[in-house]
Amino acid sequence: MKFLHVLAAIAWLGGIGFMLFALRPAATATLSPPERLMLTAQALKRFFTLVWVTIVILLLTGLAMLMAVGMKNAPAGWHAMLGIGLVMFALFGHLYFGPFRRLQLAVGKTDWAEGTRRAGQIATLATVNLGLGVLAIAAVYFLV
């Protein structure tokens, strides 16, 4: 359970790190807005499919580990991870059905100003989720 759980966490957080710190700045430095936004929408579409899979795995394996011990006996860090994890899932749902859908619509309408704004919102929400992910892992390690 923990093996699958950790693999899913690495895939999600590693993917956010790659998008934010490698692909986004590289695309901004080298591509014009239309090319950059079309690349961003296509890359995010593929990455977000993976994120939905990681969310299902994190939730199922996380709950299985919690239930095996029982909520009452679980350390504080596990409760914190459940809480932070649920916030991360909600934030991703908002990001996906809000700014990401709007980014796709903007690209379809070749509205590059709107697309740039939506890509910025996605980057902000993804940064928050990366921070929350680090907090969730820190909670499991340091809150006993």
**Minimum distance of ligand HEM from residue 31's CB (angstroms):** 29
Q: In this structure, what token pair is assigned to residue 10?
A: 């690495």
- 87 near ligand HEM (CB under 6 A): no
CB of 128 to ligand HEM, least distance (A): 13
* 67 DSSP assignment: H
71 binds ligand HEM (CB under 6 A): no
Q: Report the half-sphere exposure of 120 (CA within 13 A, side-chain side).
A: 7
Binding ligand HEM (rule: CB under 6 A), the pick from 59, 80, 105, 123 is 59
Cα gap 57→74, rounded to integer Å: 20
> Does residue 136 belong to the site contacting ligand HEM (CB under 6 A)?
yes
Distance CA 110, CA 66 (A): 47
* 92 forms part of the interface with ligand HEM (CB under 6 A): no
Cα angle 24, 85, 143 (rounded to 5 degrees) comes to 115
- The residue ranges that bind ligand HEM (CB under 6 A) are 2, 5-6, 9, 12-13, 58-59, 62-63, 65-66, 78, 81-82, 85-86, 88, 133, 136-137, 140
